[in-house]
Amino acid sequence: MNLSEFEAEFSQLGSNYKTKDVDRFNRALIKRQEDVSFLKEIVLSKQEYHRTYFQVSLAQLKGIEAKFTFIEENFDKLQDWWHVDQLSQFVDKELTFDFGYEKAKVYVQSELPFARRWGYVLFMPSLVKEAGAAEKIFPLFKDDDEYYVQMAEAWLISYLGIYEPEKTLAYLEGCPLKYNIAGKGIQKICDSFRVSKEWKERFKEVRKRYK
């Protein structure tokens, strides 16, 4: 398959395609073991191909090390890609907490904002449920000027607030982060139907300290 053949097939999805349509298209490419490496040089200009490039490529790699090496080699292709969190769907079944944690420690220090975002979102939705995850993850948080990274941190805080509310509340009571991260995280906690009313009230009290 070359680029022109790919685009001809992709165009058959129509102009109003949904994510599920792209996934179905990608599964067909995976089944045929198509090489989509030719997309690498155009995914920044045609971001509609991002999902296909990563999903199809990662599905054909064996082992979590190979998958993460591919992601790292393509960090520059995550530029301006809000949906970097979609990568979790393509590696989640093989990803362990210990492996992800060691990677995240490096990623959150990256100069690339979407690599830093990936360092936080890779824990969701599964790894954050690991027993004792909160105590290991808290030190990864830091103030960040990039909006997309801030939102990733807030999102992860909300997950920790769901699964380990007591530890998360204690962490936030120390006001370790700027309001635009911690406050948004608390807001997400309070918006969750998986958090009790009592816990929501306690988190709201902590949010007042940030203002």
Query: Does the pLDDT of residue 36 top 90, yes or no?
Result: yes
pLDDT of residue 208: 85
Cβ pair 60, 33 in contact under 8 A: yes
Query: Does the pLDDT of residue 79 top 70, yes or no?
Result: yes
- Residue type at 86? Q
pLDDT of residue 6: 96
pLDDT of residue 80: 65
For tokens 């082992």, name the residue: 63
| CA atoms of 6 and 176, how far apart (whole Å) | 48
pLDDT of residue 72: 94
pLDDT of residue 88: 84
Please give the mean pLDDT across all residues of the chain.
92
pLDDT, tens digit, 9 for 90 and up, residues 176-207: 999 999 999 999 999 999 999 999 999 999 98
Contacts 24+ apart (CB under 8 A), 31-37: 33/60, 34/1, 35/1, 36/1, 36/6
pLDDT of residue 84: 79
| CA atoms of 69 and 110, how far apart (whole Å) | 15
The token pair that represents 104 in the structure block: 């995240």
Percent of the chain with pLDDT over 90: 82
pLDDT of residue 120: 96
